[in-house]
Structure 1
Amino acid sequence: MPLSGFMTQPAQAALAEKAQAPAFTAHGALDGKAISFSLQEALKKGPVVLYFFPAAFTPGCTLEAHAFADATDDFAKLKATVVGITAGNVDRVAAFSKEECRGKFAVLADPDAKVASLYKTSSTHGNFLLSDRTSYVIAPDGTILLAFTSSDPQAHVNRTMAAVTAWYALHS
């Protein structure tokens, strides 16, 4: 059954801007190859765009992956790292990272929505706890610069790019 067929419980409110982002490590894939990701290590290189999405290979999540893949080079010019994370169909992140994310950024698996729960961006869909479509921009000091929840995949790229651009203007 597609995820749209599940009854949905309301999402928790996302973490507030200016709050400290919870530290985490997670396994995932980059261009189909297994990786381990540490938020703390990634922040040493610059801001992190952490975007949560419900499930790989669903229409909205695929559109969002394409939009972030198209913008990844622009984020990199601003010293930002893009990473996607899902609690849905975690067994498919390797294929999704290669096919839909075009090998441009890492996709992390979040079994049981543990990271999504830390970031207050999880919902119950039937008997499943999944990630909501929420994006964060996290400054190198761990401060949340942007918390954005919307069902519009392109809006996530636009809003996170605006936040990273504003950060970069103050720190370059």
Structure 2
Amino acid sequence: MRRLIAAALLAALAASPLGASLPVGTRAPDFTTTGALNGKPFRLHLKEQLRHGPLVLYFYPKAFTEGCTLEAKAFSDAMPDFRKAGARVVGMSADDLPTLQKFSVEACRGKFPVATASKDVISAYDVSIPATPLSKRTSYVIAPDGRVVFVHSEMSWKEHVARTLAAVRALKKR
């Protein structure tokens, strides 16, 4: 089943450019959704998250696929650095809450929350993969004023953590 999902995802991605995303300087669309942190459900509101400092909001296609699991583990490993830089991290996908509860424990290791990205949120952040309910792998750094200050959209998970952390550190120096 995972191979079928991966094959469908690759086919959809081949047909769609990764360049689409919100431009730097744009106000990040506000939203409220449900999520999980260390298996426990909670309500997530973007505006509330931004009251605590900058936010790394990263979209990923599907929990428990290889790239998404590796990316979550990489963010988990880097959480002390993000906290030191004053930033929070939230992962977003179209997965349902029970899946995210499990993913928040197993892949995120309880170190940061993951939340459900509705079709409207995926569309508002311009990360939809055509003909699927999934999102592209896109990371945003959002300043406390709600403006997008950095975007990285690349299906390989390998650079998302390093690039968003660098952007958060640069934001802190301003």
Q: Is the 8 A contact 2:56 2:88 kept in 1?
A: yes
In structure 2, stretches of 5+ residues that fail to align are none
Aligned to 1:67: 74
State the identity as a percent: 46
Q: TM-score, normalised by structure 1?
A: 0.92
Distance 2:108 2:120 in 1: 23
1:94 counterpart letter in structure 2: Q
Does the 8 Å CA contact 1:55/1:89 hold for their aligned counterparts?
no
Q: Measure how far apart 1:4 and its partner are.
A: 2.0
Structure-2 separation of matches of 1:160 and 1:17:
13
- Is contact 1:11-1:123 (8 Å) kept? no
Alignment partner of 1:134 is 2:138: yes
1:4 maps to what in 2? 6
Partner Cα separation in structure 2 for residue 89 and residue 45 of structure 1: 26
For residue 103 of structure 1, what is the aligned residue in structure 2? 110
Q: Which one-letter code corresponds to 1:148 in the other structure?
A: H
Distance 1:105 1:87 in 2: 17
Residue 93 of structure 2 aligns with which residue?
A: 86
What is the TM-score with the length of structure 2 in the denominator? Answer: 0.91
- Give the number of aligned pairs: 167
Alpha-carbon offset, residue 11 of structure 1: 5.1
Matched, 1:51 2:58: yes
Q: CA RMSD in A?
A: 1.5
CA distance in 2, matches of 1:159, 1:94: 27
For structure 1, which runs of at least 5 residues remain unmatched after alignment? none
Question: In structure 2, how many angstroms separate the alpha carbons of the residues matched to 1:89 and 1:107?
Answer: 11
